[in-house]
């Protein structure tokens, strides 16, 4: 079986920051893990170089666009090389092979009737390279995602019939509940699609920095929309449209009409900001191309610094290079993967980072290795023999094997923080066994075999832990393996992890301390955030009252809003709850198979007759709650002030279950 793992391709309008590094570390860890298990793995990363944003950034820098793109793309590639990222291909969307593949895909979609020409009039955000309908804009002007000013664009455009794929997409999500990971992120996508998909403008004429239209279509004032161009990188990298990878012809015909090696991707790692593009547009494009869909889209959360959103204007962007220079790139990988559950937002703070280095890496792991090296040097001239391990330590071996068997599922389910948490239990066993058996006492008492068995069981625990930690900390674990005289590779994974073998008679080598303790922060603290003046949205918030200011401090992403499923419901039955002054019990039709029971605190303001056969707005994805012993499976939207409460209702009757948003 083969595996295909990708990162997003990063825009070349600025240098890499910690968020880019995070996605790349996760993808690299997964690729290394699959290779360790012996899977034939292809790991793709690269840069996204077209579009108006890049054209404008180059202009600002006073450079020709290609030269500008070359320079920034190289900073990404150099950084990943310096970090030892194990990519198999670094794709650039300005590569000739990629451009040909994009043109080929356009032709195929066009021939199928999925692309047609029309006029586009809409609001465009250059920063997000996205069109928004007027209804989604803030104050009719500002981008709902980033708050920057949008501009009205009216131009001739080719459109992709995204609306044709609504049903098929919903069907796919329903049949593949793990398509979007973590599953908790799927709701926002499903609701977005259920809200109705508009056809997507996929070409532009107002600038020229993009993939040209295919000659067969011949409309050469158009260039491709950057997201169509960018998403296709995942297949052009495998030779779609050219049969070539890295300039070389590949066996097995990778062309558009033949099966591509490695496709479909096992997982596209993305930040939650670009989940919609990957979970809606991309599968629709692939359906149009008659290609299978990726197995998973893994959407991770957002990194902040000391609780603040990172932005260039605040001057608080964490540079991964600066952190790696100060603390070591592998420590950074460990920290980022251990600190935050995949999918949730995380905070980069030096204090938290230093705490993990000192307590987990230095104390739990580094000290254990040093103690074993020290003891084996003293008791057996650095020679370790596992011959008596089973006899004296079968209990610990059993505990260790249980942990080893549990690990795979954590990584395969994208829970690297749990994977590392469980892995660290091995060091607790190792440290515990030394404390309990006190080999130095045994040596004094003449029980040398027992003392050596304890040293050997810990060395074995360390060897297995090193194999499993390898994908996260490849160089560090190679040093540990070298100290224990073995190599980490698929064969040792097979023997030590799957077959549970112990190391044979071996020599242990001294190594310099792997994780020196850190007393003081090694980097300058982030500047305290100033009120931001970067965008109009943020400027206008200054003028607002205290209360709205509080809300603005707590702004959410549009995706977070869509995590709440709001629906129109029709009240079919309503009755008073006996003995309750406040509650009414309603049966509400939400267009589902069964009616929903909603217990609402509205009795002082409505009688049951006021409600029956009227419509209400319902929060439909709340966890069921019990009120006076009755289950309530939703909540009604209402507004309350000193004059009392009124329900929020649709202005005109709508079908029961119509999504609101
Ligand atoms: O969106 N926290 O490129 P991009 C976590 N070119 N991750 C972050 C982050 C943060 N604060 N900031 C950025 C693009 N990222 C498109 C992608 S793919 C076909 C095209 C990461 O340079 C995260 O992975 O803006 C996010 O999805 C990616 O950088 C966006 O990088």
Distance CA 9, CA 16 (A): 11
Q: Residues near 144 by Cβ (< 8 Å), separated by ≥ 6?
A: 132, 136, 137, 138, 558
User: Under CATH, which number does the domain 563-660 receive?
Assistant: 2.40.50.140
How are the residues of the chain apportioned to helix, strand and coil, as percentages rounded to the nearest 5?
45, 20, 35
Distances in whole angstroms, Cα of residue 140 to Cα of each of 152, 154, 558? 11, 17, 16
Phi-psi region of 315 (alpha: psi -120 to 50; beta: other; left: phi over 0): left
Place of tokens 């607002």: 544
Distances in whole angstroms, Cα of residue 380 to Cα of each of 261, 326, 392, 439, 445? 52, 38, 18, 12, 16
Place of tokens 């703070």: 349
Distance CA 275, CA 266 (A): 16
Three-class HEC string of 353-395? HHHHHHHHHHHHHHHHHHHHHHHHHHHHCCEECHHHHHHHHHH
The residues with which 585 forms a beta bridge, in sequence order, are: 575, 599
* Residue 11 near ligand 1, beta carbon < 6 Å: yes
Q: Residue 417 C-alpha to ligand 1 middle, in angstroms?
A: 21
Q: Residue 116 C-alpha to ligand 1 middle, in angstroms?
A: 30
Count the residues in the chain.
Answer: 661
14, 20, 51, best to mutate for ligand 1 pocket (most atoms within 8 Å of CB)? 20
- The number of the ligand 1 atom at minimal distance from the alpha carbon of 11 is 22
Distance CA 263, CA 234 (A): 9
Q: Residue 152 C-alpha to ligand 1 middle, in angstroms?
A: 25
**For the chain, which ranges sit under pLDDT 50?**
251-259, 529-552
Distance CA 456, CA 387 (A): 9
Q: Are 320 and 20 spatial neighbours (Cβ–Cβ below 8 Å)?
A: yes
Positive/negative CA dihedral, 412, 296, 239, 89:
negative
Q: Residue 280 C-alpha to ligand 1 middle, in angstroms?
A: 17
DSSP summary character for residue 602: -
In this structure, which residue's CA is closest to atom 8 in ligand 1? Answer: 19
Q: Considering only CA atoms, which of 84, 54, 77, 14 is closest in space to residue 317?
A: 14
Distance CA 10, CA 46 (A): 7
Give the pLDDT score at 246: 56
Instruction: Report CA dihedral (146, 151, 157, 158) to the nearest 10 degrees.
Output: 10
Q: Residue 8 C-alpha to ligand 1 middle, in angstroms?
A: 7
14, 15, 17, 19, best to mutate for ligand 1 pocket (most atoms within 8 Å of CB)? 19
6, 8, 294, 347, best to mutate for ligand 1 pocket (most atoms within 8 Å of CB)? 8
* Residue 228 near ligand 1, beta carbon < 6 Å: no
Q: Residue 16 C-alpha to ligand 1 middle, in angstroms?
A: 10
Q: Residue 423 C-alpha to ligand 1 middle, in angstroms?
A: 29
In this structure, which residue's CA is closest to atom 24 in ligand 1? Answer: 271
Would you tell me which CATH number, out of the four given (3.40.50.300, 2.60.120.460, 1.10.730.10, 3.40.50.620), belongs to the domain 348-507?
1.10.730.10
Distance CA 510, CA 569 (A): 70
In this structure, which residue's CA is closest to atom 30 in ligand 1? Answer: 10
How is 116-183 classified by DSSP, letter by letter? Answer: EEEEEEEEEETTTTEEE-GGGSBTTTB-TTT-PBPEEEEEEEEEE-GGGGHHHHHHHHHH-TTSEESG
Distance CA 336, CA 342 (A): 10
* Residue 574 near ligand 1, beta carbon < 6 Å: no
In this structure, which residue's CA is closest to atom 29 in ligand 1? Answer: 20
DSSP summary character for residue 514: S
Q: What is this structure's pTM? A: 0.79
- The number of the ligand 1 atom at minimal distance from the alpha carbon of 271 is 27
Q: Residue 112 C-alpha to ligand 1 middle, in angstroms?
A: 32
Q: Considering only CA atoms, which of 502, 453, 454, 496 is closest in space to residue 477?
A: 496
* Residue 310 near ligand 1, beta carbon < 6 Å: yes
CA atoms within 13 Å, Cβ hemisphere of 130: 19
* Residue 158 near ligand 1, beta carbon < 6 Å: no
Distance CA 195, CA 661 (A): 7
Q: Residue 557 C-alpha to ligand 1 middle, in angstroms?
A: 15
* Residue 437 near ligand 1, beta carbon < 6 Å: no
In this structure, which residue's CA is closest to atom 13 in ligand 1? Answer: 19
* Residue 10 near ligand 1, beta carbon < 6 Å: yes
* Residue 660 near ligand 1, beta carbon < 6 Å: no
* Residue 270 near ligand 1, beta carbon < 6 Å: yes
* Residue 22 near ligand 1, beta carbon < 6 Å: yes
Distance CA 245, CA 409 (A): 32
Place of tokens 């960018």: 230
* Residue 232 near ligand 1, beta carbon < 6 Å: no
* Residue 518 near ligand 1, beta carbon < 6 Å: no
- The number of the ligand 1 atom at minimal distance from the alpha carbon of 304 is 11
Domain boundaries, the chain: 348-507, 563-660
Distance CA 444, CA 237 (A): 64
Q: Residue 471 C-alpha to ligand 1 middle, in angstroms?
A: 22
- The number of the ligand 1 atom at minimal distance from the alpha carbon of 274 is 27
- The number of the ligand 1 atom at minimal distance from the alpha carbon of 346 is 2
Distance CA 550, CA 514 (A): 46
* Residue 458 near ligand 1, beta carbon < 6 Å: no
Give the pLDDT score at 594: 83
Q: Residue 304 C-alpha to ligand 1 middle, in angstroms?
A: 13
- The number of the ligand 1 atom at minimal distance from the alpha carbon of 273 is 27
DSSP summary character for residue 212: B
Give the pLDDT score at 135: 81
Exposed/middle/buried for residue 400 (C-beta within 10 Å: 0-12, 13-18, 19+): buried
């Amino acid at each position: 079986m083969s595996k295909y793992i990708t990162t997003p391709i990063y825009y070349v309008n600025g240098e890499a920051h910690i968020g880019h590094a995070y996605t790349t570390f996760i993808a690299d860890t997964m690729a290394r893990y699959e290779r360790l298990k012996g899977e034939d793995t292809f790991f793709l990363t690269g840069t996204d170089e077209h579009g108006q944003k890049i054209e404008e950034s180059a202009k600002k820098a006073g450079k020709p666009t290609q030269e500008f793109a070359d320079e920034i793309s190289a900073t990404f590639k150099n950084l990943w090389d310096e970090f030892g990222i194990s990519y198999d291909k670094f794709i650039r969307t300005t590569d000739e092979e990629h451009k040909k593949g994009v043109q080929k895909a356009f032709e195929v979609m066009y021939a199928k009737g999925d692309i047609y020409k029309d006029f586009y009039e809409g609001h465009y955000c250059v920063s997000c390279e996205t069109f928004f309908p007027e209804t989604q804009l803030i104050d009719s002007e500002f981008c709902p995602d980033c708050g920057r000013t949008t501009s009205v664009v009216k131009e001739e455009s080719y459109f992709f019939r995204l609306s044709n794929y609504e049903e098929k997409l919903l069907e796919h999500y329903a049949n593949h509940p793990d398509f979007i990971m973590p599953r908790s992120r799927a709701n926002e996508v499903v609701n977005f699609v259920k809200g109705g998909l508009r056809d997507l403008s996929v070409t532009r004429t107002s600038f020229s920095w993009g993939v040209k239209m295919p000659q067969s279509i011949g409309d050469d004032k158009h260039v491709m929309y950057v997201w169509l161009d960018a998403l296709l990188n995942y297949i052009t990298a495998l030779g779609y449209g050219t049969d070539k990878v890295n300039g070389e012809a590949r066996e097995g015909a990778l062309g558009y009409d033949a099966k591509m090696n490695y496709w479909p991707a096992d997982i596209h790692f993305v930040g939650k900001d670009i989940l919609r593009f990957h979970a809606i547009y991309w599968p629709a494009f692939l359906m149009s191309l008659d290609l299978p869909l990726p197995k998973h889209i893994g959407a991770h959360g957002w990194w902040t610094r000391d609780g603040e959103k990172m932005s260039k204007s605040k001057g608080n962007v964490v540079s991964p290079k600066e952190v790696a220079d100060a603390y070591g790139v592998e420590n950074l990988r460990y920290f980022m993967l251990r600190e935050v559950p995949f999918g949730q937002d995380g905070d980069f703070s030096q204090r938290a980072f230093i705490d993990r280095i000192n307590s987990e890496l230095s104390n739990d792991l580094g000290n254990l290795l040093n103690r074993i090296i020290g003891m084996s040097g003293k008791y057996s001239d650095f020679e370790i023999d596992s011959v008596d391990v089973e006899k004296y330590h079968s209990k610990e071996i059993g505990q260790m094997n249980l942990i080893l068997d549990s690990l795979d599922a954590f990584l395969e389910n994208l829970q690297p923080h749990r994977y590392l948490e469980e892995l660290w239990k091995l060091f607790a066993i190792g440290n515990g066994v030394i404390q309990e058996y006190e080999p130095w006492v045994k040596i004094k008492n003449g029980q040398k075999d027992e003392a050596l068995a304890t040293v050997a069981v810990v060395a074995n625990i360390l060897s297995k832990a090193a194999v499993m930690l390898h994908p996260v900390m490849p160089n560090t674990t190679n040093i540990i393996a070298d100290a224990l005289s073995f190599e980490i590779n698929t064969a040792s994974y097979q023997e030590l992890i799957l077959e549970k073998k112990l190391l044979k008679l071996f020599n242990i080598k001294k190594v310099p301390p792997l994780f020196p303790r850190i007393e003081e922060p090694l980097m300058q603290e982030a500047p305290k955030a100033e009120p931001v003046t970067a965008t109009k949205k943020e400027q206008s918030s200054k003028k607002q009252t205290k209360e709205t200011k509080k809300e603005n401090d707590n702004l959410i992403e549009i995706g977070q809003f869509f995590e709440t499923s709001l629906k129109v419901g029709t009240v079919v039955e309503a009755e008073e709850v006996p003995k309750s002054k406040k509650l009414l019990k309603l049966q509400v039709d939400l267009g589902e198979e069964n009616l929903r029971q909603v217990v609402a605190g509205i009795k002082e303001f409505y009688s049951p007759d006021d409600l029956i056969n009227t419509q209400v707005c319902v929060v439909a994805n709340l966890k069921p709650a019990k009120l006076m012993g009755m289950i309530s499976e939703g909540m009604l939207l209402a507004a309350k002030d000193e004059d009392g409460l009124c329900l929020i209702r649709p202005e005109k009757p709508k079908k029961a279950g119509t999504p609101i948003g």
